[in-house]
């Protein structure tokens, strides 16, 4: 593909840091995920025309399909491998081969409630009271480090949950004195638990003493010309480093939106740049969709703690606007949404407290925080996002003021230059394309756009399918409305029995049979596939 000014400008912002990059096609679909020690150097290689002759057919097809790309920096190579695997499993890019199965990275598990606790390898984290370490990017390293840890702290490696004296007779670990054999009473359970605690500290990174010992042994072996032994000790040190290296835990995302590596961190950054009292727990985004003034609809999506809360999505058919006017459509949508929410809020007797920074969870970035369930009672959002520029924002603010809700924080996001418009601010806020706060707003905006377009397409398909009934002369508008209300769509009506059709008031057996025969005859019409979705808000 030719390098556009957009791609060239974005390449200039890619840092020289390790991380993961995502290539996307013109529909915004992730088509390839890769990792790199130097992101800018690696990503820019895709856009060097001089290298094109050396590319194979698959690589040429990938480059031709790239319309946009995204990236995320990490701290080390292990994190990049973990993140790459997670994103490939989430997005299933068509140009990736590895990591597309459901196989997870290895974890180390120990359950202190077991009679004689043991460290085992697993790929599935369960809510069983056990303590888990990992995931580990290098399975070979963690397996060898586990053997080293067992020998160092004399921990058991046998399989039985509660080993007995009979198991000890055939236990290699016990006979080689690698295990203190608590199963036959060589040590008490309390003494063995102290060994297990030392192993836990080892996995948590307390390895300084062991590192010093291994390095000293490696140097002595090299000085004595025992190079094979020195190489094994060197590899053991590398395994130890890989196993105890601190890595971030990346949260799985069950939705196909632009990537959110750490939604809580994005929320904190958004709250900071907008001057909010804390990270916005609830964000509601609005968008308008129409085709030349027809099928005018609007959508509202809701994000809770940076994640889509689909149960709170709403969609609207525009009622008061007859010509194409996005400003008026936005005003009607905001008025209907928040006037209804006011009634629900008052009816529920809800007392809404302001968000606090602690509501977003642990500020640490190494692990995803616990996310509370969305409240069951109606609540007002901490932030309202309008898809559009100054005109759409002013229309929304005017309606909120009429409703007495002028205190709610509302902003507009203009897509052309990704500018953030704020009430009372003449100049828009411009953040970098890689800014965490902007990426979060883009996720909300893009989801509202997708939801609005989906509803618009549903209405168009429904109109096409419903028009088929106009060709059947046996029913009028009233009976047509009644039967569509009963069955929801022409597709469902076509698959219904004659008896079910005849049960609708105003239909008898004869007309029901005629209608059924008419629809079956028209069954090959692709327009009959339209389905009725959820009812509009």
pLDDT in tens, 294-327: 678 889 999 998 888 888 999 888 888 878 788 9
Over the stretch 98-154, which tens digit does the pLDDT of each residue have?
665 556 777 888 888 887 888 888 877 777 778 887 677 667 777 777 777 777 777
Extract the tokens encoding 111: 């359950």
Q: Are 381 and 302 in contact (CB under 8 A)?
A: yes
Q: What is the pLDDT of residue 363?
A: 36
The predicted model scores a pTM of 0.52
Q: What angle do CA 16, 21, 25 make, to 5 degrees?
A: 135
Helix (H, G, I), strand (E, B) or coil at 308: strand
Q: What is the pLDDT of residue 284?
A: 95
* CATH architecture, range 263-452: 2-Layer Sandwich (3.30)
**Cα 160 from Cα 167, distance rounded (Å):** 8
Number of CB atoms found within 10 A of residue 123's CB: 13
pLDDT tier at 166, thresholds 50, 70, 90 = confident
Q: Are 33 and 100 in contact (CB under 8 A)?
A: no
Residue 349 has pLDDT above 60, yes or no: no
Tokens 């949260």 belong to which residue? Answer: 251
DSSP letters of 304-341? ETTEE-GGG-EEEE--S--S--HHHHHHHHHHHHHHHH
Q: What is the pLDDT of residue 280?
A: 93
Residue 359 has pLDDT above 50, yes or no: no
* Residue with more model confidence, 252 or 379: 379
Residue spans of the domains in the chain: they are: 5-91, 106-244, 263-452, 472-529
Minimum mean pLDDT range among 15-19, 136-140, 272-276? 136-140
Q: What is the pLDDT of residue 471?
A: 67
Q: What is the largest CA-CA distance in the chain?
A: 103
- 24's enclosing H/E stretch is strand 19-24
Strand order in the sheet with 119-122: 119-122, 106-110, 131-136
Where b means 16+ CB within 10 Å and e means fewer, 506-527 reads ebeeebbebbbebbeebeeeeb
Fold of 5-91: GIY-YIG endonuclease (3.40.1440)
Helix (H, G, I), strand (E, B) or coil at 477: helix
**Cα 372 from Cα 303, distance rounded (Å):** 13
Where b means 16+ CB within 10 Å and e means fewer, 33-61 reads bbbbeebbebbbebbeeeeeeeeeeeeee
Which of 168-182, 352-366, 426-440 is most confident?
A: 426-440
Fold of 472-529: DNA polymerase; domain 1 (1.10.150)
**Cα 442 from Cα 423, distance rounded (Å):** 19
Helix axis angle, 139-153 to 227-244, nearest 10°? 100
pLDDT tier at 535, thresholds 50, 70, 90 = very low
What region, left, alpha or beta, does residue 181 occupy, with left being phi > 0 and alpha being psi -120 to 50 degrees? Answer: left
Q: What is the pLDDT of residue 241?
A: 66
| Cis, peptide link before residue 135, omega less than 30° from 0 | yes
Q: Are strands 314-317 and 307-308 parallel, antiparallel or unpaired?
A: unpaired
**Cα 279 from Cα 422, distance rounded (Å):** 17
Where b means 16+ CB within 10 Å and e means fewer, 182-213 reads bbeeebeeeebeebbeebbebbeeebeebeee
**Cα 368 from Cα 108, distance rounded (Å):** 19
Counted residue by residue, the chain has a size of 537
């Amino acid at each position: 593909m030719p390098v556009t000014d957009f791609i060239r400008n974005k390449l200039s912002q890619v840092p020289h840091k390790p991380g993961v990059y995502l290539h996307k096609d013109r529909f915004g679909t992730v088509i390839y995920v890769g990792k790199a020690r130097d992101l800018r150097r690696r990503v820019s290689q895709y856009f060097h025309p001089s290298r094109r002759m050396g590319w194979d057919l698959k690589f040429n097809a990938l480059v031709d399909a790239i319309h946009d790309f995204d990236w995320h920096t990490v701290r080390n190579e292990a994190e990049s491998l973990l993140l790459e695997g997670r994103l490939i499993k989430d997005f299933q890019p068509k140009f990736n081969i590895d990591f597309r199965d459901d196989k997870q990275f290895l974890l180390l598990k120990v359950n202190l409630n077991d009679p004689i606790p043991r460290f085992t390898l697993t790929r599935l984290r369960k809510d069983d009271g056990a303590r888990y370490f990992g995931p580990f990017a290098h399975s070979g390293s963690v397996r060898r480090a586990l053997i080293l840890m067992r020998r160092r702290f004399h921990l058991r490696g046998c399989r039985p949950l509660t080993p007995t004296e009979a198991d000890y007779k055939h236990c290699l670990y016990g006979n080689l004195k690698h295990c203190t054999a608590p199963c036959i009473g060589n040590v008490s359970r309390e003494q063995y638990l102290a060994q297990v605690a030392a192993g836990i500290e080892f996995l948590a990174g307390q390895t300084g003493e062991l590192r010093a010992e291994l390095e000293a042994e490696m140097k002595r072996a090299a000085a004595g010309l025992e190079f094979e032994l020195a190489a094994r000790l060197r590899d053991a040190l590398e395994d130890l480093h890989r196993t105890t290296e601190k890595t971030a835990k990346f949260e799985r995302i069950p939705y196909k939106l632009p990537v959110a590596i750490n939604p809580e961190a994005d929320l904190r950054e958004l709250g900071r740049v907008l001057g909010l009292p804390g990270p916005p727990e609830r964000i509601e985004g609005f968008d308008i969709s129409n085709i030349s003034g027809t099928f005018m609809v609007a959508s509202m999506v809701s994000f809770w703690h940076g994640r889509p809360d689909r149960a709170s999505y709403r969609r609207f058919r525009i009622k008061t606007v007859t010509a194409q006017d996005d400003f008026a459509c936005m005003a009607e949508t905001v008025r209907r949404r928040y006037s209804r929410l006011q009634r629900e809020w008052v009816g529920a007797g809800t007392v809404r407290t302001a968000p606090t920074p602690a509501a977003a969870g642990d500020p640490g970035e190494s692990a995803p925080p616990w996310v509370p369930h969305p409240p069951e009672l109606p609540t007002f959002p901490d932030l309202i996002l309008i898809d559009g520029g100054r005109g759409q924002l002013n229309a929304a603010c005017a309606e909120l003021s009429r409703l007495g809700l002028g205190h709610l924080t509302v902003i507009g996001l203009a897509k052309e230059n990704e500018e953030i418009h704020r009430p009372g601010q003449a100049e828009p806020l411009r953040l970098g394309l890689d800014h965490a706060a902007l990426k979060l707003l883009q996720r909300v905006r893009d989801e509202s756009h997708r939801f609005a377009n989906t509803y618009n397409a549903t209405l168009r398909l429904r109109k096409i399918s419903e028009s088929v009934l106009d060709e059947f002369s046996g029913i009028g508008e009233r009976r047509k409305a009644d039967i569509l209300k009963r069955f929801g769509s022409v597709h469902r009506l076509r698959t219904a029995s004659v008896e079910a059709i005849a049960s609708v008031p105003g239909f008898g057996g004869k007309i029901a049979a005629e209608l059924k025969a008419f629809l079956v005859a028209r069954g090959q019409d692709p327009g009959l596939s339209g389905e009725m979705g959820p009812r509009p808000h």
